[in-house]
Amino acid sequence: MAGQGLMNPYFGSTASSLTSNLVDQIERYRLGITHSPMAMQHTIPGFHGDFIKGPHLPPGFPMNTKPDPRIKVRLENENLWNQFDKFCTEMIITKLGRRMFPTVKISITGLEPSTKYFVLMDIIPADDSRYKFQSKEWVVAGKAEPHLPGRLYIHPDSPASGAQWMRHPVSFQKVKLTNNNLDQQGHIVLNSMHKFQPRIHIVAANDILSLHWGIYNSFTFSQTQFLAVTAYQNDRITQLKINNNPFAKGFRENGQLRSKKRAGGTSPPACEITSSSPEKTPSEECCVDKRKRPNSVGSSHDIEEMDDRPGSSMSVEKDLVDPDEKVDIEGPATPASFLRPVRSSPSPFLPSTRPPVKSEGIDQSAIVSSLVPSVTSPLPSTDSSLKLLTPPVTSSSGSTGNIPILPHDPGLLSSHQHCLTSYGGPVPPNSAPMLYPHIYYGHIVHPAVYLGRTHPLPLPPLPSPHSTSSVLDKAARDMYGYPYLRHHAPHPPSLLAGPPRPIPMHGYSYALQHQVPANL
DNA sequence: TCGGCTCCCACGTTTGAAAGGA
DNA sequence: ATCCTTTCAAACGTGGGAGCCG
Protein backbone atom coordinates (compact mmCIF):
# COMPACT_ATOMS: atom_id res chain seq x y z
CA MET A 1 0.00 0.00 0.00
CA ALA A 2 1.42 3.27 -0.98
CA GLY A 3 1.94 5.83 1.67
CA GLN A 4 -0.65 8.44 2.22
CA GLY A 5 1.32 11.01 0.37
CA LEU A 6 1.16 8.95 -2.75
CA MET A 7 -2.51 8.38 -2.75
CA ASN A 8 -4.56 10.25 -5.24
CA PRO A 9 -6.34 12.77 -3.10
CA TYR A 10 -9.69 12.04 -4.59
CA PHE A 11 -9.47 8.44 -5.53
CA GLY A 12 -7.28 7.12 -2.80
CA SER A 13 -8.46 5.35 0.26
CA THR A 14 -7.52 7.96 2.77
CA ALA A 15 -8.25 11.58 3.16
CA SER A 16 -4.77 12.95 3.51
CA SER A 17 -4.08 16.47 4.48
CA LEU A 18 -3.39 17.21 0.86
CA THR A 19 -6.80 15.88 0.04
CA SER A 20 -8.23 18.31 2.46
CA ASN A 21 -6.24 21.09 1.00
CA LEU A 22 -7.45 20.32 -2.46
CA VAL A 23 -11.00 20.24 -1.30
CA ASP A 24 -10.33 23.45 0.50
CA GLN A 25 -9.06 24.99 -2.68
CA ILE A 26 -12.00 23.71 -4.63
CA GLU A 27 -14.42 25.08 -2.14
CA ARG A 28 -12.77 28.44 -2.30
CA TYR A 29 -13.25 28.62 -5.99
CA ARG A 30 -16.73 27.21 -5.77
CA LEU A 31 -17.73 29.78 -3.25
CA GLY A 32 -17.45 32.35 -5.90
CA ILE A 33 -13.90 33.40 -5.65
CA THR A 34 -13.77 32.63 -9.30
CA HIS A 35 -16.69 32.26 -11.61
CA SER A 36 -18.53 28.99 -11.64
CA PRO A 37 -18.67 26.68 -14.56
CA MET A 38 -21.41 27.29 -16.99
CA ALA A 39 -23.77 24.41 -17.00
CA MET A 40 -25.89 23.65 -19.96
CA GLN A 41 -28.73 21.27 -19.67
CA HIS A 42 -28.89 18.41 -22.07
CA THR A 43 -32.20 16.70 -21.75
CA ILE A 44 -32.42 13.16 -22.92
CA PRO A 45 -35.88 12.49 -24.27
CA GLY A 46 -34.92 9.20 -25.74
CA PHE A 47 -31.89 7.21 -26.53
CA HIS A 48 -29.17 9.75 -27.00
CA GLY A 49 -28.16 12.74 -25.06
CA ASP A 50 -29.59 15.56 -27.05
CA PHE A 51 -27.92 18.89 -26.93
CA ILE A 52 -30.33 21.71 -26.45
CA LYS A 53 -29.20 25.25 -26.76
CA GLY A 54 -30.44 26.96 -23.69
CA PRO A 55 -32.04 30.35 -23.84
CA HIS A 56 -29.64 31.30 -21.09
CA LEU A 57 -26.69 31.50 -23.44
CA PRO A 58 -26.63 35.13 -24.41
CA PRO A 59 -25.50 36.30 -27.78
CA GLY A 60 -21.86 37.07 -27.92
CA PHE A 61 -21.04 34.52 -25.29
CA PRO A 62 -17.38 33.65 -25.72
CA MET A 63 -16.97 30.64 -27.91
CA ASN A 64 -14.77 28.76 -25.52
CA THR A 65 -17.42 28.87 -22.82
CA LYS A 66 -20.09 27.03 -24.78
CA PRO A 67 -20.77 23.39 -24.16
CA ASP A 68 -19.55 21.12 -26.86
CA PRO A 69 -22.59 20.12 -28.92
CA ARG A 70 -20.70 17.18 -30.37
CA ILE A 71 -20.64 15.39 -27.06
CA LYS A 72 -23.29 12.69 -26.90
CA VAL A 73 -24.10 10.43 -24.02
CA ARG A 74 -26.03 7.21 -24.21
CA LEU A 75 -27.51 5.34 -21.28
CA GLU A 76 -26.01 1.90 -21.64
CA ASN A 77 -28.37 -0.11 -19.46
CA GLU A 78 -31.42 1.75 -20.62
CA ASN A 79 -33.57 -1.37 -20.85
CA LEU A 80 -32.94 -2.20 -17.24
CA TRP A 81 -33.72 1.32 -16.15
CA ASN A 82 -36.90 1.25 -18.17
CA GLN A 83 -38.01 -1.90 -16.40
CA PHE A 84 -37.58 -0.24 -13.05
CA ASP A 85 -38.98 3.05 -14.19
CA LYS A 86 -42.19 1.33 -15.18
CA PHE A 87 -42.89 0.70 -11.49
CA CYS A 88 -41.19 3.83 -10.18
CA THR A 89 -37.64 3.01 -9.21
CA GLU A 90 -36.75 2.91 -5.54
CA MET A 91 -33.25 3.23 -4.15
CA ILE A 92 -32.38 2.17 -0.63
CA ILE A 93 -30.51 4.75 1.35
CA THR A 94 -28.79 3.80 4.60
CA LYS A 95 -26.78 5.53 7.24
CA LEU A 96 -23.56 3.95 6.03
CA GLY A 97 -24.34 4.40 2.35
CA ARG A 98 -25.87 2.07 -0.18
CA ARG A 99 -24.95 1.59 -3.80
CA MET A 100 -27.42 2.34 -6.53
CA PHE A 101 -29.00 -0.44 -8.51
CA PRO A 102 -29.40 -0.19 -11.40
CA THR A 103 -26.24 1.81 -11.73
CA VAL A 104 -25.90 4.68 -14.12
CA LYS A 105 -23.81 3.36 -16.96
CA ILE A 106 -23.17 5.54 -19.98
CA SER A 107 -21.21 5.56 -23.15
CA ILE A 108 -19.80 8.80 -24.41
CA THR A 109 -19.02 9.96 -27.91
CA GLY A 110 -17.87 13.19 -29.43
CA LEU A 111 -15.04 13.95 -27.07
CA GLU A 112 -11.72 15.34 -28.20
CA PRO A 113 -9.51 12.25 -28.06
CA SER A 114 -6.50 13.99 -26.58
CA THR A 115 -8.31 16.37 -24.25
CA LYS A 116 -8.65 15.46 -20.60
CA TYR A 117 -12.13 15.30 -19.17
CA PHE A 118 -13.74 14.84 -15.83
CA VAL A 119 -16.94 12.85 -15.72
CA LEU A 120 -19.12 13.72 -12.78
CA MET A 121 -22.46 12.76 -11.37
CA ASP A 122 -24.77 14.52 -9.00
CA ILE A 123 -28.29 13.80 -7.86
CA ILE A 124 -30.80 16.56 -7.57
CA PRO A 125 -34.41 16.65 -6.39
CA ALA A 126 -36.77 15.75 -9.18
CA ASP A 127 -39.59 17.80 -7.78
CA ASP A 128 -40.83 19.67 -4.76
CA SER A 129 -42.84 16.89 -3.18
CA ARG A 130 -42.59 14.29 -0.50
CA TYR A 131 -44.12 10.93 -1.33
CA LYS A 132 -45.74 8.01 0.45
CA PHE A 133 -46.58 4.54 -0.77
CA GLN A 134 -50.29 4.06 -0.47
CA SER A 135 -52.54 1.48 -2.05
CA LYS A 136 -49.62 0.04 -3.98
CA GLU A 137 -48.69 3.29 -5.59
CA TRP A 138 -46.68 6.38 -4.83
CA VAL A 139 -48.68 9.46 -4.03
CA VAL A 140 -47.66 12.95 -3.06
CA ALA A 141 -47.67 13.32 0.70
CA GLY A 142 -46.74 16.94 1.04
CA LYS A 143 -44.03 19.42 0.40
CA ALA A 144 -40.46 18.26 0.12
CA GLU A 145 -38.03 18.54 2.98
CA PRO A 146 -35.17 20.93 2.36
CA HIS A 147 -32.49 19.33 0.29
CA LEU A 148 -28.97 19.56 1.60
CA PRO A 149 -26.28 20.95 -0.62
CA GLY A 150 -25.54 18.28 -3.13
CA ARG A 151 -22.36 16.39 -3.54
CA LEU A 152 -20.63 15.98 -6.80
CA TYR A 153 -19.36 12.47 -7.38
CA ILE A 154 -16.23 12.53 -9.47
CA HIS A 155 -15.79 9.35 -11.44
CA PRO A 156 -12.68 7.67 -10.04
CA ASP A 157 -11.09 7.45 -13.47
CA SER A 158 -11.17 11.22 -13.88
CA PRO A 159 -9.36 12.89 -15.41
CA ALA A 160 -8.90 10.77 -18.49
CA SER A 161 -8.49 11.58 -22.13
CA GLY A 162 -11.50 11.69 -24.37
CA ALA A 163 -10.24 8.62 -26.17
CA GLN A 164 -10.18 6.70 -22.94
CA TRP A 165 -13.65 7.78 -21.90
CA MET A 166 -15.01 6.78 -25.28
CA ARG A 167 -13.25 3.45 -25.32
CA HIS A 168 -15.52 1.77 -22.79
CA PRO A 169 -18.83 2.43 -21.09
CA VAL A 170 -18.52 4.49 -17.95
CA SER A 171 -20.15 3.05 -14.87
CA PHE A 172 -21.09 4.91 -11.70
CA GLN A 173 -21.59 1.81 -9.64
CA LYS A 174 -19.42 3.02 -6.79
CA VAL A 175 -21.76 5.86 -6.00
CA LYS A 176 -23.32 5.44 -2.59
CA LEU A 177 -26.45 7.04 -1.27
CA THR A 178 -27.03 7.90 2.34
CA ASN A 179 -29.58 9.66 4.49
CA ASN A 180 -26.93 10.64 7.00
CA ASN A 181 -26.64 14.40 6.99
CA LEU A 182 -23.38 14.13 8.87
CA ASP A 183 -21.87 11.70 6.44
CA GLN A 184 -18.12 12.11 6.13
CA GLN A 185 -17.50 9.39 3.58
CA GLY A 186 -18.36 11.51 0.59
CA HIS A 187 -21.59 9.69 -0.14
CA ILE A 188 -24.46 11.52 -1.76
CA VAL A 189 -26.93 12.62 0.89
CA LEU A 190 -30.60 12.26 0.02
CA ASN A 191 -33.90 12.56 1.80
CA SER A 192 -36.02 9.47 2.17
CA MET A 193 -39.38 9.37 0.43
CA HIS A 194 -38.30 12.01 -2.04
CA LYS A 195 -37.82 11.75 -5.76
CA PHE A 196 -34.44 12.41 -7.31
CA GLN A 197 -32.83 12.73 -10.68
CA PRO A 198 -29.21 11.74 -11.36
CA ARG A 199 -27.26 13.96 -13.72
CA ILE A 200 -24.07 13.39 -15.62
CA HIS A 201 -21.59 16.16 -16.26
CA ILE A 202 -18.65 16.05 -18.62
CA VAL A 203 -16.09 18.75 -18.12
CA ALA A 204 -12.97 19.35 -20.14
CA ALA A 205 -10.38 19.97 -17.47
CA ASN A 206 -6.84 18.93 -16.93
CA ASP A 207 -7.06 18.82 -13.17
CA ILE A 208 -9.46 19.07 -10.32
CA LEU A 209 -8.88 22.76 -9.86
CA SER A 210 -9.77 23.56 -13.44
CA LEU A 211 -13.19 22.04 -12.87
CA HIS A 212 -14.47 25.31 -11.60
CA TRP A 213 -14.06 27.22 -14.75
CA GLY A 214 -14.62 24.36 -17.09
CA ILE A 215 -17.69 24.05 -19.23
CA TYR A 216 -20.25 21.62 -17.90
CA ASN A 217 -21.91 19.43 -20.48
CA SER A 218 -24.79 18.08 -18.45
CA PHE A 219 -27.05 15.18 -19.27
CA THR A 220 -30.08 13.71 -17.62
CA PHE A 221 -32.03 10.56 -18.41
CA SER A 222 -35.62 10.71 -17.34
CA GLN A 223 -35.84 6.97 -16.70
CA THR A 224 -33.14 7.19 -14.05
CA GLN A 225 -35.37 9.11 -11.68
CA PHE A 226 -35.93 7.27 -8.43
CA LEU A 227 -37.47 7.51 -5.01
CA ALA A 228 -35.11 7.32 -2.08
CA VAL A 229 -36.40 4.91 0.59
CA THR A 230 -35.04 3.24 3.68
CA ALA A 231 -36.99 0.07 2.95
CA TYR A 232 -38.50 -1.07 -0.29
CA GLN A 233 -42.17 -0.29 -0.59
CA ASN A 234 -43.11 -1.77 -3.93
CA ASP A 235 -42.77 -5.57 -4.11
CA ARG A 236 -42.29 -5.36 -7.84
CA ILE A 237 -39.24 -3.20 -7.45
CA THR A 238 -37.90 -5.61 -4.85
CA GLN A 239 -38.33 -8.51 -7.20
CA LEU A 240 -36.70 -6.64 -10.06
CA LYS A 241 -33.74 -5.86 -7.83
CA ILE A 242 -33.44 -9.46 -6.69
CA ASN A 243 -33.66 -10.76 -10.20
CA ASN A 244 -31.15 -8.38 -11.67
CA ASN A 245 -28.68 -7.56 -8.94
CA PRO A 246 -26.04 -10.28 -8.59
CA PHE A 247 -25.48 -9.30 -4.98
CA ALA A 248 -29.07 -10.20 -4.24
CA LYS A 249 -28.77 -13.64 -5.75
CA GLY A 250 -29.31 -15.11 -2.34
CA PHE A 251 -32.90 -14.01 -2.51
CA ARG A 252 -33.65 -15.69 -5.79
CA GLU A 253 -35.35 -19.02 -6.10
CA ASN A 254 -32.66 -20.94 -4.24
CA GLY A 255 -31.95 -18.21 -1.79
CA GLN A 256 -35.57 -17.94 -0.89
CA LEU A 257 -35.22 -21.15 1.01
CA ARG A 258 -33.86 -18.96 3.68
CA SER A 259 -36.95 -16.83 3.56
CA LYS A 260 -39.05 -19.94 3.82
CA LYS A 261 -37.03 -21.04 6.78
CA ARG A 262 -37.49 -17.72 8.46
CA ALA A 263 -41.05 -17.07 7.49
CA GLY A 264 -42.30 -20.59 8.00
CA GLY A 265 -42.65 -21.47 4.36
CA THR A 266 -44.48 -18.36 3.34
CA SER A 267 -41.93 -17.31 0.85
CA PRO A 268 -43.29 -14.99 -1.77
CA PRO A 269 -43.77 -16.38 -5.24
CA ALA A 270 -40.97 -16.04 -7.68
CA CYS A 271 -40.76 -12.90 -9.66
CA GLU A 272 -44.06 -11.98 -11.13
CA ILE A 273 -42.75 -9.17 -13.19
CA THR A 274 -40.04 -10.83 -15.10
CA SER A 275 -39.93 -9.14 -18.41
CA SER A 276 -40.86 -11.13 -21.44
CA SER A 277 -37.44 -10.30 -22.79
CA PRO A 278 -35.47 -9.78 -19.65
CA GLU A 279 -32.24 -7.92 -20.01
CA LYS A 280 -29.31 -10.16 -19.49
CA THR A 281 -28.38 -9.79 -15.87
CA PRO A 282 -24.85 -8.90 -14.95
CA SER A 283 -24.37 -12.27 -13.35
CA GLU A 284 -25.52 -13.98 -16.47
CA GLU A 285 -23.24 -11.87 -18.56
CA CYS A 286 -20.22 -13.00 -16.65
CA CYS A 287 -21.24 -16.49 -15.77
CA VAL A 288 -18.69 -18.14 -18.00
CA ASP A 289 -15.98 -17.97 -15.41
CA LYS A 290 -16.68 -15.67 -12.55
CA ARG A 291 -13.35 -16.35 -11.03
CA LYS A 292 -11.41 -15.02 -13.99
CA ARG A 293 -10.01 -11.76 -12.84
CA PRO A 294 -9.60 -8.70 -15.00
CA ASN A 295 -5.86 -8.82 -14.73
CA SER A 296 -5.73 -12.27 -16.10
CA VAL A 297 -4.92 -13.11 -19.68
CA GLY A 298 -7.47 -11.83 -22.12
CA SER A 299 -8.72 -9.43 -19.57
CA SER A 300 -9.70 -6.66 -21.88
CA HIS A 301 -12.29 -8.84 -23.47
CA ASP A 302 -13.59 -10.06 -20.18
CA ILE A 303 -13.80 -6.64 -18.77
CA GLU A 304 -15.99 -5.48 -21.53
CA GLU A 305 -18.41 -8.27 -20.89
CA MET A 306 -18.23 -8.01 -17.15
CA ASP A 307 -18.35 -4.31 -16.98
CA ASP A 308 -21.75 -4.25 -15.39
CA ARG A 309 -20.84 -6.51 -12.59
CA PRO A 310 -20.45 -5.05 -9.16
CA GLY A 311 -17.02 -3.84 -8.39
CA SER A 312 -15.80 -3.17 -11.86
CA SER A 313 -15.11 0.29 -12.97
CA MET A 314 -14.46 1.92 -16.25
CA SER A 315 -11.74 -0.25 -17.62
CA VAL A 316 -9.76 2.19 -19.64
CA GLU A 317 -6.71 1.38 -17.65
CA LYS A 318 -6.43 -2.08 -19.09
CA ASP A 319 -5.34 -1.42 -22.61
CA LEU A 320 -3.47 1.76 -22.53
CA VAL A 321 -1.08 2.57 -25.27
CA ASP A 322 0.31 5.89 -24.33
CA PRO A 323 2.47 5.59 -21.24
CA ASP A 324 1.82 9.20 -20.47
CA GLU A 325 -1.86 8.54 -20.23
CA LYS A 326 -1.14 5.71 -17.90
CA VAL A 327 -0.05 8.04 -15.19
CA ASP A 328 -3.47 9.45 -14.70
CA ILE A 329 -5.45 6.31 -15.08
CA GLU A 330 -3.77 3.18 -14.05
CA GLY A 331 -2.56 3.82 -10.57
CA PRO A 332 -3.64 6.11 -7.85
CA ALA A 333 -2.32 9.37 -9.15
CA THR A 334 0.10 11.16 -6.97
CA PRO A 335 -0.74 14.65 -5.92
CA ALA A 336 2.10 15.84 -8.11
CA SER A 337 0.69 14.20 -11.20
CA PHE A 338 -2.72 15.42 -10.23
CA LEU A 339 -1.61 18.99 -10.15
CA ARG A 340 1.01 19.12 -12.78
CA PRO A 341 0.33 20.89 -16.03
CA VAL A 342 -0.60 18.53 -18.82
CA ARG A 343 1.35 18.57 -22.05
CA SER A 344 -1.50 17.74 -24.34
CA SER A 345 -2.57 20.37 -26.79
CA PRO A 346 -5.29 22.65 -25.52
CA SER A 347 -8.81 21.91 -26.56
CA PRO A 348 -10.98 24.62 -28.05
CA PHE A 349 -13.34 23.84 -25.19
CA LEU A 350 -10.78 24.27 -22.51
CA PRO A 351 -10.66 27.65 -20.93
CA SER A 352 -7.59 29.69 -21.46
CA THR A 353 -4.71 29.27 -19.07
CA ARG A 354 -5.05 31.44 -16.06
CA PRO A 355 -2.44 33.10 -13.94
CA PRO A 356 -1.82 31.91 -10.42
CA VAL A 357 -3.65 33.07 -7.35
CA LYS A 358 -2.31 33.74 -3.96
CA SER A 359 -4.40 31.96 -1.43
CA GLU A 360 -2.44 32.76 1.68
CA GLY A 361 -4.27 34.53 4.39
CA ILE A 362 -7.70 33.19 3.56
CA ASP A 363 -9.08 31.27 6.47
CA GLN A 364 -11.88 29.24 5.07
CA SER A 365 -11.43 26.12 7.04
CA ALA A 366 -14.69 26.70 8.86
CA ILE A 367 -16.57 27.05 5.63
CA VAL A 368 -15.07 24.04 4.07
CA SER A 369 -15.23 21.90 7.14
CA SER A 370 -18.97 22.26 7.23
CA LEU A 371 -18.96 20.34 3.99
CA VAL A 372 -15.90 18.20 4.28
CA PRO A 373 -15.11 17.84 7.95
CA SER A 374 -11.72 16.35 7.28
CA VAL A 375 -10.42 19.66 6.06
CA THR A 376 -8.05 20.93 8.63
CA SER A 377 -4.72 22.20 7.50
CA PRO A 378 -3.89 24.98 5.12
CA LEU A 379 -2.25 24.42 1.80
CA PRO A 380 1.50 24.10 2.03
CA SER A 381 2.88 27.28 0.63
CA THR A 382 5.78 25.40 -0.84
CA ASP A 383 3.63 23.61 -3.35
CA SER A 384 4.56 25.56 -6.41
CA SER A 385 2.91 23.11 -8.77
CA LEU A 386 -0.44 23.99 -7.32
CA LYS A 387 0.11 27.66 -7.83
CA LEU A 388 0.64 27.06 -11.49
CA LEU A 389 -2.88 25.89 -11.84
CA THR A 390 -4.73 28.23 -9.59
CA PRO A 391 -7.16 30.72 -11.05
CA PRO A 392 -6.58 34.39 -11.58
CA VAL A 393 -6.62 37.07 -9.00
CA THR A 394 -8.73 39.83 -10.30
CA SER A 395 -11.06 42.17 -8.58
CA SER A 396 -13.84 44.07 -10.22
CA SER A 397 -11.78 47.15 -10.09
CA GLY A 398 -9.07 45.42 -11.98
CA SER A 399 -6.63 45.38 -9.15
CA THR A 400 -4.97 42.27 -7.99
CA GLY A 401 -5.76 40.99 -4.55
CA ASN A 402 -5.99 37.83 -2.60
CA ILE A 403 -9.34 36.79 -3.94
CA PRO A 404 -10.39 36.73 -7.51
CA ILE A 405 -13.96 37.86 -7.44
CA LEU A 406 -14.69 38.43 -11.08
CA PRO A 407 -13.99 36.50 -14.21
CA HIS A 408 -10.73 37.35 -15.77
CA ASP A 409 -12.25 37.63 -19.19
CA PRO A 410 -14.39 40.74 -19.66
CA GLY A 411 -16.51 38.81 -22.10
CA LEU A 412 -17.25 36.32 -19.43
CA LEU A 413 -18.23 39.03 -17.06
CA SER A 414 -20.80 40.50 -19.34
CA SER A 415 -22.17 37.07 -20.05
CA HIS A 416 -22.51 36.23 -16.43
CA GLN A 417 -24.16 39.49 -15.73
CA HIS A 418 -26.56 38.79 -18.50
CA CYS A 419 -27.51 35.55 -16.85
CA LEU A 420 -27.83 37.14 -13.48
CA THR A 421 -29.96 39.98 -14.55
CA SER A 422 -32.46 37.62 -16.04
CA TYR A 423 -33.36 36.48 -12.53
CA GLY A 424 -32.38 38.95 -9.97
CA GLY A 425 -32.88 42.18 -11.78
CA PRO A 426 -30.16 44.49 -12.89
CA VAL A 427 -26.86 44.23 -11.20
CA PRO A 428 -26.06 47.44 -9.44
CA PRO A 429 -22.87 49.06 -10.52
CA ASN A 430 -19.93 48.79 -8.24
CA SER A 431 -21.27 45.60 -6.81
CA ALA A 432 -19.83 42.14 -6.85
CA PRO A 433 -22.41 40.20 -8.80
CA MET A 434 -20.05 37.41 -9.60
CA LEU A 435 -19.17 36.69 -6.05
CA TYR A 436 -21.45 33.69 -5.69
CA PRO A 437 -22.64 32.45 -9.00
CA HIS A 438 -24.69 29.28 -8.87
CA ILE A 439 -26.14 26.93 -11.34
CA TYR A 440 -29.86 26.43 -11.52
CA TYR A 441 -31.29 24.34 -14.29
CA GLY A 442 -28.16 25.06 -16.18
CA HIS A 443 -28.39 28.77 -15.47
CA ILE A 444 -26.11 30.80 -13.37
CA VAL A 445 -28.10 32.64 -10.79
CA HIS A 446 -27.41 34.91 -7.93
CA PRO A 447 -27.48 33.08 -4.61
CA ALA A 448 -30.23 35.35 -3.44
CA VAL A 449 -32.44 33.76 -6.02
CA TYR A 450 -31.13 30.35 -5.24
CA LEU A 451 -31.88 30.76 -1.58
CA GLY A 452 -35.40 31.76 -2.23
CA ARG A 453 -35.28 35.47 -1.61
CA THR A 454 -37.51 37.37 -3.92
CA HIS A 455 -34.86 39.98 -4.46
CA PRO A 456 -31.15 39.62 -4.61
CA LEU A 457 -29.20 39.82 -1.45
CA PRO A 458 -28.07 43.23 -0.43
CA LEU A 459 -24.89 43.07 -2.38
CA PRO A 460 -21.77 43.22 -0.33
CA PRO A 461 -19.37 46.02 -0.89
CA LEU A 462 -16.44 45.28 -3.07
CA PRO A 463 -14.20 43.10 -1.02
CA SER A 464 -10.83 44.48 -0.28
CA PRO A 465 -7.87 42.35 0.57
CA HIS A 466 -8.64 43.17 4.19
CA SER A 467 -12.23 42.03 4.14
CA THR A 468 -11.57 38.64 2.68
CA SER A 469 -12.73 36.55 5.57
CA SER A 470 -15.95 38.36 6.15
CA VAL A 471 -16.92 38.12 2.53
CA LEU A 472 -16.18 34.44 2.48
CA ASP A 473 -18.05 33.89 5.68
CA LYS A 474 -20.99 35.65 4.20
CA ALA A 475 -20.74 33.58 1.10
CA ALA A 476 -20.87 30.45 3.18
CA ARG A 477 -23.81 31.68 5.20
CA ASP A 478 -25.68 32.65 2.11
CA MET A 479 -24.94 29.44 0.38
CA TYR A 480 -25.57 26.90 3.07
CA GLY A 481 -27.24 28.80 5.81
CA TYR A 482 -26.86 28.41 9.54
CA PRO A 483 -28.57 26.41 10.72
CA TYR A 484 -27.71 24.05 7.97
CA LEU A 485 -31.24 23.35 6.86
CA ARG A 486 -33.33 25.97 5.23
CA HIS A 487 -36.46 25.99 3.18
CA HIS A 488 -36.34 25.46 -0.50
CA ALA A 489 -36.38 28.31 -2.85
CA PRO A 490 -39.44 28.85 -4.97
CA HIS A 491 -38.55 28.57 -8.58
CA PRO A 492 -37.69 31.83 -10.28
CA PRO A 493 -40.52 32.97 -12.53
CA SER A 494 -38.34 32.86 -15.57
CA LEU A 495 -37.76 29.20 -14.95
CA LEU A 496 -41.38 28.39 -14.36
CA ALA A 497 -42.25 30.01 -17.62
CA GLY A 498 -40.14 27.56 -19.57
CA PRO A 499 -40.79 23.91 -20.25
CA PRO A 500 -41.58 22.00 -17.07
CA ARG A 501 -38.38 20.99 -15.43
CA PRO A 502 -38.97 21.04 -11.71
CA ILE A 503 -35.44 20.29 -10.71
CA PRO A 504 -34.14 22.75 -8.18
CA MET A 505 -30.43 23.12 -8.35
CA HIS A 506 -28.27 23.28 -5.31
CA GLY A 507 -24.79 24.28 -4.42
CA TYR A 508 -22.15 21.71 -4.90
CA SER A 509 -19.97 20.14 -2.36
CA TYR A 510 -17.37 17.67 -3.33
CA ALA A 511 -17.33 14.07 -2.37
CA LEU A 512 -14.14 12.55 -1.15
CA GLN A 513 -13.77 9.14 -2.64
CA HIS A 514 -12.37 6.78 -0.12
CA GLN A 515 -12.50 3.73 -2.28
CA VAL A 516 -9.62 2.74 -4.42
CA PRO A 517 -10.82 2.28 -7.97
CA ALA A 518 -11.55 -1.28 -8.89
CA ASN A 519 -8.97 -3.33 -10.71
CA LEU A 520 -6.08 -1.30 -9.46
C1' DT B 1 -51.32 2.84 16.16
C1' DC B 2 -48.43 3.41 12.39
C1' DG B 3 -45.00 4.75 9.23
C1' DG B 4 -40.24 5.28 8.89
C1' DC B 5 -35.76 4.04 10.36
C1' DT B 6 -31.83 1.20 12.20
C1' DC B 7 -29.55 -2.87 13.16
C1' DC B 8 -28.48 -7.50 12.45
C1' DC B 9 -28.63 -11.71 9.80
C1' DA B 10 -27.59 -15.12 6.19
C1' DC B 11 -26.24 -15.52 1.67
C1' DG B 12 -23.80 -14.45 -2.74
C1' DT B 13 -20.13 -11.79 -5.02
C1' DT B 14 -15.80 -9.56 -5.33
C1' DT B 15 -11.10 -9.10 -4.45
C1' DG B 16 -6.44 -9.75 -3.20
C1' DA B 17 -2.94 -12.74 -1.36
C1' DA B 18 -0.70 -17.04 -1.44
C1' DA B 19 0.45 -21.35 -3.49
C1' DG B 20 1.57 -24.05 -7.28
C1' DG B 21 2.63 -25.03 -12.13
C1' DA B 22 4.62 -23.97 -16.70
C1' DA C 1 13.21 -15.83 -12.08
C1' DT C 2 9.04 -14.71 -14.16
C1' DC C 3 4.45 -15.15 -15.49
C1' DC C 4 0.10 -17.22 -15.20
C1' DT C 5 -3.60 -19.92 -13.03
C1' DT C 6 -5.97 -21.69 -9.17
C1' DT C 7 -7.46 -21.65 -4.48
C1' DC C 8 -9.01 -19.60 -0.44
C1' DA C 9 -10.65 -16.42 2.90
C1' DA C 10 -11.91 -11.84 4.15
C1' DA C 11 -14.46 -7.97 2.85
C1' DC C 12 -18.31 -6.24 0.78
C1' DG C 13 -23.16 -5.77 -0.94
C1' DT C 14 -27.81 -7.52 -0.79
C1' DG C 15 -32.89 -7.76 0.93
C1' DG C 16 -35.55 -9.45 4.90
C1' DG C 17 -37.10 -9.14 9.44
C1' DA C 18 -37.32 -7.61 14.18
C1' DG C 19 -37.47 -3.94 17.02
C1' DC C 20 -37.19 0.98 18.11
C1' DC C 21 -38.82 5.69 17.82
C1' DG C 22 -41.52 9.81 17.15
Mean pLDDT (whole number) for A159-169: 90
Does A182 contact strand B, using a CB cutoff of 7 Å? no
**Could you tell me the pLDDT band of residue A70, with boundaries at 50, 70 and 90?**
very high
Reported as a pLDDT band with limits 50, 70 and 90, residue A136 is confident
**pLDDT score recorded for residue A139:** 87
With bands split at pLDDT 50, 70 and 90, how would you rate the model's confidence at A247? confident
pLDDT for A11 equals 28
A238 CB inside 7 Å of strand C: yes
Contacts of A494 (CB under 8 A, 6+ apart): A422, A423
Q: Quick check: A425 pLDDT over 70?
A: no
Query: Would you state the pLDDT for residue A166?
Result: 93
Better pLDDT: A6 or A227: A227
Report whether A456 contacts A424 (CB < 8 A): yes
| Residues near A34 by beta carbon (within 8 Å), at least 6 away in sequence | A212, A213, A391, A392, A404, A407
pLDDT score of A215: 86
A163-168 average pLDDT score: 90
Percent of chain A at pLDDT > 90 equals: 11
| pLDDT reported for residue A2 | 29
Kindly state the average pLDDT of the residues A214-229: 91
Nucleotides of C under 7 A from a protein CB: 4-8, 12-18
Q: Which of residues 278-297 of A touch strand C (CB under 7 A)?
A: 291-293, 296-297
Alpha-carbon distance A515 to A362, whole Å?
A: 30
What is the per-residue pLDDT across A289-300, written as a single tens digit (0 to 9) for each?
333 333 322 223
Residue-wise pLDDT for A456-493, tens only, equals 222 333 333 333 333 433 433 333 332 222 222 222 32
Residue A402 carries which DSSP code?
S
Of the two residues A67 and A447, the one the predictor is more confident about is A67
Query: Is residue A9 within 8 Å of residue A24, measured between CB atoms?
Result: no
According to DSSP, the β-strands at A194-204 and A216-221 are antiparallel
Mean pLDDT, range A122-147, rounded to an integer:
86
* Residue numbers in A 98-157, CB below 7 Å of strand C: 98-99, 101
A337-361: pLDDT as tens digits? 222 222 222 232 333 222 222 222 2
Over the stretch A90-117, which tens digit does the pLDDT of each residue have? 999 988 888 899 999 999 999 999 999 9
**Residue spans of alpha helices (H) in A307-408:** 323-329, 335-339, 365-369, 384-389
| Mean pLDDT on A22-50 | 34
Once rounded to an integer, what is the mean pLDDT over residues A183-197? 86
Q: Which nucleotide is nearest to A92 (CA to C1')?
A: C15
Listed ranges A12-26, A211-225, A272-286, A317-331; the one with the highest mean pLDDT: A211-225
Residue A253: the pLDDT is 61
How confident is the model over A148-168, as a mean pLDDT?
85
Cis, peptide link before residue A102, omega less than 30° from 0? yes
What is the rounded CA–CA span in Å between residue A433 and residue A406? 8
Counting residues of chain A whose pLDDT is more than 70, the rounded percentage is: 35
Omega cis (within 30) before A67 = no
The pLDDT score that the predictor gives to residue A498 is 29
Q: Give the pLDDT score at A204.
A: 92
- The CA–C1' separation of A167 and B19, in angstroms, is 36
pLDDT band at A446 (very low <50, low <70, confident <90, very high): very low
pLDDT at A210 over 70: yes
For residue A108, the model assigns a pLDDT of 95
Q: Residue A248's pLDDT is what? A: 85
pLDDT tens-digit map of A5-26: 222 223 222 222 233 333 333 4
Nucleotides of B under 7 A from a protein CB: 3-7, 10-16
Q: Is the CB of A520 under 7 A from strand B?
A: yes
Q: Does the pLDDT of residue A453 top 60, yes or no?
A: no
pLDDT of A44 higher than 60: no
Whether A165 has a pLDDT exceeding 60, the answer reads yes
Residue A516 above 50 pLDDT? no
Mean pLDDT, chain A, integer:
51
Nearest nt to A297, CA vs C1'? C4
Mean pLDDT of A377-400: 26
Whether pLDDT at A409 is above 60: no
Q: What's the alpha-carbon Rg for chain A, to the nearest Å? A: 23
Most confident stretch, A244-258, A271-285, A322-336: A244-258
